[in-house]
Structure 1
Amino acid sequence: MKREISIFFTALMYYTRIPCPGWVVYQESYLHQATRYFPFIGWLIGFFAGLLFLAASYLFGTALGIILSMAGSILLTGAFHEDGFADACDGFGGGWTKERILEIMKDSRVGTYGVVGLILILAVKFFSLQQMVSNSMQPLVLLLLFMTAHALSRFVASTFLFTHTYVRLSEDSKVKPVAQGGEKHNFFIGAALAFIPLLTLLYFTGKPLLITVLLPLYLLKLYLGRYFTKWIGGYTGDSLGATQQVCEVLIYLTFIVLWKFT
């Protein structure tokens, strides 16, 4: 039990800025196992973002509520995934060989592709959330929407550990360590944790067709998997961050469409 608790806190320590007990010590083996809690981290981030939106929108209005919610989730994760998305934009946008792409992604500086990419994806996220909350949803439904988006997007990103090869610039590279070589039981535990918020959302909304959000997510995973493999031969930590960000936005967009026609 203590080992399992340590694995959970390893996930919390690595993927968020939430303080952990002092006795938790980072171990690489724990990080590999912590993959199964990645969607649960999405529960926490999504719940916090949704709660912050509800409070801020009540006090300041919808637009400021969304901005503060986005800022809160970014602060809570230390811009972990946004940083990966920006690096991926720079790498795949500015590099034409595997070595050059990986070299650019390794660089901590953000280039034009990264800046433009971040502006665009944050803008799409803002207006998607604005459109979503304009549907006069109940507070509980909004919380579940946030939790579903954060949990599912993180699960899709984590599936690369089970389906693709981790790539690094060199064998001795220590830049942005990431869990590798996922085990099957971690996949199924992660899937269960990812689907719980979605199934709960279906129950409270009475809209079973919302489950079709899984189809565009699956197609996006296939596309990104082929794209990453074509250019760099697998995935990197930045690839996972980019996947999470794109999937989160795709979930919001899909929910907008499904909400309109169901």
Structure 2
Amino acid sequence: MIRQLVRQYHAFFNAWVFFTRLPAPSGVVFNDDYLNAGSRYFSWVGVVVGVVLAAAFYGLNLLFPTPLAVGLMLGVSLLLTGAFHEDGLADLFDGLGGGYTRQAALDIMKDSRLGTYGAAALIVSMGIRWYALSVVLSTEPLAAFWLLPLLHGWSRFWSISTLWTLDYARADAESKSKPLATHFGVIASFIAAVPVLALLLLPSVTTLIWALPLALLLRAILTGWFRRRLGGYTGDCLGGAQQLQELLLLLVWVALGV
């Protein structure tokens, strides 16, 4: 039992360092095995990131109007994660937008240069996120303390759920997803869902009624797209899925006016 708890401790902080730019406690062991096991904590890391961002927003909002505080908070988000998922979104749209064959798409997604499709995706995504959060938080700033953790935990859960049905698309180990995970089973899924289910108790039932089927629909669309174009997933697919699921939940929030 103690050995298993120690293993999960190392697995969590392997995921923590992989997905953020924040340090881990001293003594944490980093290896491929722990990082693979850490995929179940993807959503947990998202919740912690959301809490930090909520505190940053609230402090900034004491000094600045809500739209400016939201913009600065988004900047903090990029610093916390190293724009990890935004990079995935840009690479995904560059690859699938500009690559007409599977191999061409994979090659473009590995290219560090930013293309037109990726730049457009980032501009639209960040613009929607800034405006939607400004609308929601302008009337209820304290909502940031459960909305932001929910957004970041929820979106990461649906992102990693891609592994339920898809295999890794590359034959090499050069993508950022390797060796993050090669399988996402029942136990890992349950652990990943715990913080999301807990946070879903806070908003209205109406939000859940709309958000859950729409998240499943978006997941089905994305996994079908990845399978058809790439034959599986890459790290950029997971990053892009996270960004799109976060946007979807935020849009549901704004549309319902909750």
Same fold (TM over 0.5): yes
Segments of 4+ moved more than 4 angstroms: none
Quick one: distance in 2 between partners of 1:19 and 1:131? 33
Contact 1:32 1:182 in 2 (8 A): no
The question of whether the paired residues in 2 share the 8 Å contact of 1:66 and 1:126 is answered with: yes
Give the Cα separation in 2 of the matches to 1:35 and 1:24. 16
After superposition, what is the alpha-carbon deviation per residue over 1:135-192, rounded to whole angstroms, capped at 9, x for unaligned? Answer: x2251x3210111110000000010112211111xx2332322321122200111112
| Alpha-carbon distance in structure 1 between the residues aligned to 2:175 and 2:207 | 38
Q: Indicate which of 137, 142, 145 corresponds to 2:140.
A: 137
Residue in 2 that maps onto 1:241: 239
Normalised to the residue count of structure 1, the TM-score between the two structures is 0.92
Amino acid at match of 2:140: M
- Deviation track 1:57-104 (CA, whole Å, cap 9, x = no partner) reads 110111110011111111101111001001001101100110000000
On the 8 A contact 2:57/2:144 being kept in 1, the answer is no
Looking at structure 1, the residues matched to 252 and 76 of structure 2 have their Cα atoms a distance apart, in angstroms, of 23
Match of 1:208 in 2: 205
1:174 — aligned with what? 174
Q: What's the CA shift string for 1:123-144, capped at 9, x where partnerless?
A: 011111111123x2251x3210
Which stretches in structure 1 are left out of the alignment for 5+ residues? none
Q: Which is worse superposed, 207-216 or 230-239?
A: 207-216
- Residue type of the partner of 1:244? Q
1:208 partner letter: V
Per-residue deviation, 1:25: 2.7
Give the letter aligned to residue 6 of structure 1: H
Match of 1:89 in 2: 93
Trace 1:1-262 onto structure 2 (pairs within 5 A).
1-134=5-138, 136-137=139-140, 139=142, 141-168=143-170, 171-176=171-176, 177=178, 178-199=180-201, 201-202=202-203, 207-212=204-209, 213-259=211-257
Q: Which amino acid aligns with 1:156?
A: W
Gaps of 5+ in 2: none
Q: Is the 8 A contact 1:13 1:19 kept in 2?
A: yes
> How far has the Cα of 1:227 moved from its partner?
0.8
Q: Secondary structure at the match of 2:181?
A: coil
In the alignment of these two chains, the number of paired residues is 251
Q: Work out the percentage of aligned pairs sharing the same amino acid.
A: 37
Aligned-residue Cα RMSD (Å) equals 1.3
Alpha-carbon contact 1:144-1:198 (below 8 Å) kept:
no
**Partner Cα distance (1:14, 1:95) in 2:** 28
Secondary structure of the residue aligned to 1:189 is: helix
Letter in 1 for 2:190: F
Normalising by structure 2, we get a TM-score of: 0.93
